[in-house]
Amino acid sequence: MIGAILVLSGPSGAGKSTIIKESSDNIGSYYFSISTTTRKPRDGEVDGVDYYFVSKDSFEEDIKAGNFLEYATVHNNYYGTSLIPVQKALNNGKLVIFDIDIQGHRLIRAKLGDITTSAFITPPSIDELDYRLNIRRTDDKDIISQRMDNAKKEIEAIHEYDYVIINDDIKTASEEFTLIANVSILKQSRAELNDFIIHWLKTTKN
């Protein structure tokens, strides 16, 4: 059996990273897909841990080479997912978790929809999102304004996701995420199911 994919989306400030961290001991073996980006690292971010930070020219070369499972432009920067580590994790039967935007979710659904489960994570209101973005003090006012505008567009795509987690309480949200993650690993591809049907229909004569 190959692994499965769990796509997480939601506005910046929704708490996706915190939820994954809180749930990590309860969701079995998984690989968190690290995105490649052309944006500058924030304070405390480490290359190869938080993101792979590359130049715009390097990113565009990888696009031409077909080295991305998905990629998108967000706030004037490229973000993308390299195919090689994802395929390796799937072959090892792991759950591959993505933290990507709605464009990335659509692309993965189109390519690997039969093994993909998705959840949209959001604060309970736009006012709460504005509060969280301002209190964490990692972005200037222009970037926060961009993130708020983007969030208003993202929320319109919420119906495209299998599940919605309203992160009003981190403990409850983490418990809901754990349930979703543990169910998603059971999702099997069409090819796997076809192989099982063939195996099941075989008769063995002793």
Token pair for 32? 């968190």
pLDDT tens, position by position, 159-204: 999 999 999 999 999 999 999 999 998 887 777 888 888 888 886 6
Single-letter code of the amino acid located at 79: Y
- The dotted CATH code for 4-33+95-201 is 3.40.50.300
CA distances from 185 to 33, 117, 201 (A): 15, 9, 25
Query: Which of 32-41, 123-132, 181-190 shows the lowest per-residue confidence on average (mean pLDDT)?
Result: 181-190
- Give domain limits for the chain: 4-33+95-201
